Chain A
């Protein structure tokens, strides 16, 4: 069996990031678009941990911590915005939200 080195994780992360980016471009439901952003953030986390092990450095894992915090803050504010928008226009998709004014 081949030994799993950092390249395996990096390729997997690249594929995960691309799927997330594709979903963000294609899907119209704002909630699903948010989930695709989460996929992309997770791909970056995977890259950080792989490089951390490859370079034998704790810094990569600490950075994953900060990414997690920023992701949590982003989800909280983003979902609050979605709730505020959906109250005014139920069932709105990304196409309906071309202007910021309610």
Chain B
């Protein structure tokens, strides 16, 4: 059973990763990334890292990919990229060679030459089965005792990241620059202007007709008055 789930999840991980690299369209890359990240969450569940699987789905597929899609839409860079041309000659063969070499090296080191990981076992704390102690309690105990200083530093790091993002997304002058007009807003503005022009024209015509009528009426009045005087 575990083998079947592993194979399915592994195929989805690799297919998603290839999709990220090979898609012409950044939106397609982002959606392939969702597939990969979700399958990695499945592999976390398979290894009984339940808390990390939940965090993976919430933080990665929920927040980070949405942020990617948000930036793609914001910048309007969602046009297809030409992948057939190769701006630097020989870049792709070298990249394929390097990637394949690193993969082969890692696979040989991990799978062939050693019998698994070396080093002290259970150095931090023993990983207990879910029935004995829930995964989240085990991680929390270690996180707030042995790793508490690193945990505090992550709070500082996140604060710096937020401040940095705000500073970077402001313009150099300190004020927010007006956003460029979007296509929808432009169409709406042009439609409104055209409607206003038609309305103005109609109003001008009506006013001219009224004025003509009034003039005719006053002339008629004058004519009747003159007739009465006479």
Contacts and interface: CB of A to CB of B under 8 A. Distances in A.
B20 A56 contact: no
A5 B165 CA distance: 41
Interface stretch (B94-102, B190-198, B210-218): B94-102
Contacts of B13: 12, 16
Contacts of B14: 12, 15-16, 19
Contacts, number: 252
Contacts of B75: 82-83, 86, 90
B21 A26 contact: yes
B115 to A, nearest CB: 9
B47 A83 contact: no
B26 to A, nearest CB: 5
A67 to B, nearest CB: 10
Interface in A43-97: 45-46, 49-59, 61-62, 64-66, 68-77, 79-84, 86-87, 90-91, 95
B169 A80 contact: yes
Given A39-B17, A56-B127, A21 B99 contact: yes
Interface string A20-32: 1111011111011
Interface residues of A, number: 75
Nearest to B114: A7
Given A7-B110, A46-B43, A80-B168, A57 B125 contact: yes
Contact of A55 (B67, B117, B142): B117
A57 B122 contact: yes
**DSSP majority for the B interface?**
helix
Contact of B40 (A32, A46, A91): A46
B77 A75 contact: no
B21 A27 contact: yes
14 contacts: A14-B110, A26-B21, A27-B81, A32-B21, A32-B26, A39-B20, A39-B33, A49-B52, A55-B123, A57-B124, A61-B52, A61-B135, A65-B143, A73-B160
Interface of B: 1-4, 6, 10, 13-14, 17-18, 20-21, 23, 26, 29-30, 33, 36-37, 40, 43-44, 46-49, 51-52, 55-56, 59-60, 63-64, 67-68, 71-72, 74-77, 81, 87, 91-92, 94-96, 98-100, 102-103, 106-107, 110-111, 116-117, 119-127, 135, 138-139, 141-143, 146-147, 150, 154, 157-158, 160-162, 164-165, 168-169, 171, 177
